[in-house]
Amino acid sequence: MKAFARGIVSLTPYLVAASSLSGGSCPQVAPTAVPAWVDLISNRVTSFGSPGTALLFNDLNSNVRTPGQRLPYTVEVPASAIGSMDIHTYPAGPVFYSNSSGASISCLPGVDASLPNGCPAGQVGVGCPASGDCTGKPILRTPATGIVSVLTTRAAGIEYLGTFDGTASAASGGVLQVVFFHQKEDYVAGAEYGFFRDPSVPNQLTVYWQTNANCSLRPFGSLNDTMCTKVEGVREPSTYIYTDNLEPGVASAITTACNIDLGPAGGFGLYYYSMWIFSDNGTPMFGMSIRDANTLRPVVPDTSIDPNAGVAPAWYPIGPLNGGDGYVTAGITRFDPFNTQTFSSPPPTMAIERLAVAKAAPGGSKRR
């Protein structure tokens, strides 16, 4: 989820605010279909894939995106509690309001609004007018580091070969190590799915799926102050992107998750972490597996889950995402408004060895 984007993924502002998610253990049900994988970002192992773009939003640095990055690539938790201004701007379309008061924001990304010149806990724009409409204004990102792919087409899943290392003393969601698929290059308002580790929570991998991504300024409180309302002033606690037309008081789901316990396997290691979309008798499902990099044997039981199970009407667009276009980001985000976190030595890192995608067949999902 989620300087990517704070809300539930600020690498955007970037990643997922763990405390805003709900979910128990992922069901240990083997998927009925497993895809083939194709390297997305070029690496030293195969000739497939294209170079990615390295991301660094840290301490108001100006060189935030560096193209031409190949794998392997190791990223470390941002050293500063302050992020940076992105070269991306808020897109046209729905109005992206900066805050509920409509006031212009001048602040340091990643620092809490209660501090002098501090930002809200979420996405904000640079130089937004008094109306609060941030369309076309640069996006301030909370601290994050990582790599993002070029646009990939017909995507039906993501695979990460790498590590999730280090620990943090931060509150839940203060640091996140994440790999995710996202529809929008700027991380704003599209659908996402992926998985992340919170270094403050032992042995837990969280699998998540999210729509209306990164639209809330307050992931730890009520979800008013949305960035993505279409009508200025319509920011009730139940308001999410495009929900101006929903029944008053009806809170549409925005993110759901489940957790995988790696404790029985001895914790995290150099594994293949995979998440993909498949059809189970016509029902689109997510599959998730974690396999040893050397033996390819399962580290924990595989998972399959229907993201819309028990919900009518279905809220998550898993069908259109099966074979949809988008991007894959891997990296670490930091949200440390009072600059109080302490880290292990060495600090939290991700050794990114390979990033791959499953490809849906033209005109339909890929079954293997």
The Cα-based distances of 71 to 3, 14, 65, 185, 209 in angstroms read: 21, 21, 16, 20, 26
SS3 of residue 200 by DSSP: coil
Q: Which residue has the higher pLDDT, 199 or 17?
A: 199
The pLDDT value recorded for residue 302 is: 97
Neighbour tally for 66: CB within 10 Å: 12
The pLDDT value recorded for residue 11 is: 39
Average pLDDT over residues 297-314: 91
Q: Which residue has the higher pLDDT, 187 or 218?
A: 187
- Span of 67-76, 86-95, 197-206 with lowest mean pLDDT: 86-95
The pLDDT value recorded for residue 14 is: 34
- Span of 72-81, 224-233, 254-263, 294-303 with lowest mean pLDDT: 224-233
* 185: pLDDT strictly greater than 80: yes
Rounded Cα distance, 207 and 72, in Å: 24
- Span of 16-30, 44-58, 199-213, 347-361 with lowest mean pLDDT: 16-30
The pLDDT value recorded for residue 190 is: 79
Tokens of 48: 């497939």
Q: Where are the domains of the chain?
A: 18-37+146-359
The pLDDT value recorded for residue 34 is: 94
- Span of 236-250, 264-278, 326-340 with lowest mean pLDDT: 236-250
pLDDT band at residue 311 using 50, 70 and 90 as cut-offs: confident
* 290: pLDDT strictly greater than 60: yes
Please report the beta strands in 262-321, taking only residues with DSSP state E, as ranges in sequence order: 271-280, 283-292, 303-305
Encoded amino acid at 159, one letter: E
Q: What is the pLDDT of residues 97-148, one digit of tens each?
A: 554 334 344 566 766 656 655 665 444 667 766 666 677 888 888 899 999 9
The pLDDT value recorded for residue 6 is: 37
- Span of 2-16, 63-77, 103-117, 215-229 with lowest mean pLDDT: 2-16
The pLDDT value recorded for residue 67 is: 97
Average pLDDT over residues 181-194: 89
**pTM score, whole prediction:** 0.86
The pLDDT value recorded for residue 341 is: 82
Q: Provide the H-helix boundaries in 110-236.
A: none
Token pair 């990615």: residue: 52
**Topology given in CATH for the domain delimited by 18-37+146-359:** Jelly Rolls (2.60.120)
